[in-house]
A and B are shown apart, each in its own frame.
Chain A
Amino acid sequence: MVVALRAASVIAFVLLWEWAARVPISFNFPSPWATLTALVALLRSGAILSATATSLQSLALGFGIAIAVGVPLGLVMGVVRPVGRVARVYLDLLIALPTAALIPLVILSFGINILSSAVIVFVFSVPFVTMNAYGGVRDVRPRLLEMAHAFDASRWQVFVRIVLPSALPMILAGIRYALSRAFVGLIVAELLLSPFGLGRLIMASRSMFEHDRMFATVLWTLLLAGVALAALARLEGRLLRWRT
């Protein structure tokens, strides 16, 4: 049922796209077939693969640090309430921040390199990782804490045995959401600042009016994000098997 629905939605999307390409909405709007051909050509030439490798480095660096910083920060915010109350204001502001506007500043500070786009990826994704870890800790059932106290559990035991597993579903959901934000951040960064990566490929194709190549690169980015998100969702399902 779900599989059939999924297939139908993909077909409907492609048909809509094909239709849009035939109606002269815009000059040089590529059809699905043209896009696919361009994608195959980009894969053959290896151009898209080297761009992907460069982009994924920024992504892995920025997103990895976002998790390494965001999860512990969110946990501390949840456990030490005053810290949480102060820090959440900054996180709310960080979410509302027009991050793209800051990119020139980031380039000035870090230079035009992988580090700069990693910083943008980090800024895009870290608030969501942190906020969810924080929310996860705050949602711990008080009764479970009371139960652990009744067994005279130490603070560390309460944290490891009750708080962490209680917060895990929200932490994982935050990581998954932050990953899609990280992809957005990556492309924005590369579009605006960089002479490398998938963003550059998109820019280069656009400036040459090679819209099929541009669309192919965007499609490829979506595929990458989709695969990464699906892998995370699988991991989540395995870790949270008890939620039947």
Chain B
Amino acid sequence: MAPRPVEIVVDGVSKAFGTVQALVDVHVRVRAGEFLSLIGPSGCGKTTLLKTIAGLVAPDSGRVVVGGRTVEGPGRECSVVFQDFALLPWATVQKNAEFGLLLRGVPAAARAERARGMIAKVGLAGFEHAYPAQLSGGMQQRVGLARALAVNPQVLLMDEPFASIDEQTRRVFQDDLLQLWSEERKTVVLVTHSMEEAIYLSDRVVVLSPRPGRVHQVLDVPLPRPREGAGVRATAEFARLVDDLWKVLRKLQ
């Protein structure tokens, strides 16, 4: 039932906002079903790159290909999870989770059932009738994730999804995300500024350099999976990988 994950090819993408060069000739290839993180100092264009893949930002030159289709605007392959959740404050958890399905014209009954299933999957069963303002940040982001997954995308694009969530909640959520990812098998691109988060979650980490944004280096993360609940953070290998990443990033500050 889950669609086959697809490959993403970012092929020589450049983008300027006025006189600011956000991205210059960026090449990234995300493998089908891969978990890839984009990291870099602020101003490196990582969010711009994510939005380009989502079709929300049109590149000045170059192109993005998602599953063989050149991106010319938002499409059905990708769902986006936002840092500030972007929930509808006037809608319940249920209606928020249904929102993407509603926009795509899915009939009410199917919509409700699909959203309810996703709400349960992200661990919010029983909160269907709550409003966003009644939930903690972590729970709100779970709603954002449920909404993104409800439309059954092949690609999940996450823009600093854990940045506004406190540390303990974040760790639990990260494990839940890995668990979900292993079940749903999406291609995931995650923008983050946390080195630990990038290493813990990803197969590969793409380091972008700032002003103008370019691909600086790509690091492999050869930690075995499943990582969730396996005490990976306590291993010497994890510490070494985070340190390697820090050495790369430090030179870019």
Chain A contact residues, CB within 8 Å of chain B: 141, 143-144, 146-153, 157, 161-162, 165, 168, 240, 242-244
Query: Are B134 and A165 within 8 A (Cβ)?
Result: no
- A151 and B99 contact, CB distance less than 8 A: yes
Complex Cα distance A240/B73, Å? 34
Contact of B90 with A242 in the complex, beta carbons under 8 Å: yes
- Chain B residues lying within 8 Å of A147, measured Cβ to Cβ, are 80, 82, 86
**Interchain CA distance A152-B103 in the complex, whole Å:** 8
Assess whether B103 is in contact with A157, with CB atoms less than 8 Å apart: yes
Q: In the complex, which range does the number of interface residues on chain B fall in?
A: 20 to 34
Residues of A within 8 A of B56 (CB): 146, 149-150
Q: Evaluate contact between A146 and B86: CB separation under 8 angstroms.
A: yes
Measured CB to CB, the nearest residue on chain B to A141 is B86
Q: How far is the CA of A147 from the CA of B54 in the complex (A)?
A: 11
The distance in angstroms between the C-alpha atoms of A165 and B76, with both chains bound, is 25
Contact with A along B60-89 (1 / 0, CB 8 A): 000000000000011110111010101011
* Contact between A151 and B84, CB atoms less than 8 A apart: no
Closest chain B CB from A77 CB (angstroms): 22
Chain A binding surface SS class: helix
> B238 within 8 Å of A by Cβ?
no
0/1 per residue, B119-149, Cβ < 8 Å to A?
Answer: 0000000000001011000000000000000
Residues of B that sit less than 8 Å from A by CB:
54-56, 73-76, 78-80, 82, 84, 86, 88-91, 99-100, 102-104, 131, 133-134, 151
Instruction: Answer whether A242 and B131 are a contact pair too, CB < 8 Å, given A143-B84, A144-B86, A165-B90.
Output: yes
Q: How far is the CA of A147 from the CA of B102 in the complex (A)?
A: 13
14 A-B interface contacts by CB (under 8 A): A143-B82, A144-B88, A147-B80, A150-B74, A150-B78, A150-B79, A150-B80, A152-B75, A152-B103, A165-B90, A168-B90, A242-B131, A242-B133, A244-B134
Q: Which residues of A contact B99 (CB under 8 A)?
A: 151, 161
Cα distance, A150 to B102, chains bound together (Å): 14
A152 to B75, CA, bound (A): 6
Residue of B nearest to A168 (CB): B90
A150 touches B151 (CB 8 A): no
| Chain A residues, CB < 8 A from B103 | 148, 151-153, 157, 161
Beyond A152-B74, A165-B90, list 12 extra A-B contacts (CB 8 Å): A143-B82, A148-B103, A150-B79, A151-B103, A152-B73, A152-B75, A152-B104, A161-B99, A165-B88, A242-B131, A243-B133, A244-B134
Residue of B nearest to A143 (CB): B86
Contact partner of B76 (CB less than 8 A), chosen from A148, A152, A153, A168, is A152
Q: How far is the CA of A149 from the CA of B104 in the complex (A)?
A: 12
B142 to chain A minimum Cβ distance, whole angstroms, is 16
Nearest B residue (CB) for A241: B131
In the bound complex, residues from chain B placing their C-beta under 8 Å from that of A150 are: 54-56, 74, 78-80
Residues on A with beta carbons closer than 8 Å to the beta carbon of B151? 151
What CA separation (Å) do A143 and B74 show in the bound complex?
15
A143, A151, A165, A242: most-surrounded residue (chain B CB, <10 A): A151
User: A-B pairs with the 4 shortest C-beta distances?
Assistant: A147-B86, A152-B74, A150-B80, A242-B131
Contacts of A144 in B (CB 8 A): 86, 88
Chain B residue nearest to A154 (CB atoms) is B103
Q: Which of A148, A168, A244 contacts B131 (CB 8 A)?
A: A244
Report B-chain residues with C-beta under 8 Å of the C-beta of A168: 90
A244 & B82 in contact (Cβ 8 Å cutoff): no
CA distance A168 to B84 in the complex (A): 22
Q: Are A242 and B74 in contact (CB under 8 A)?
A: no
Q: Is the CB of B133 within 8 A of A151?
A: no
Distance between Cα atoms of A128 and B152 in the complex (Å):
45
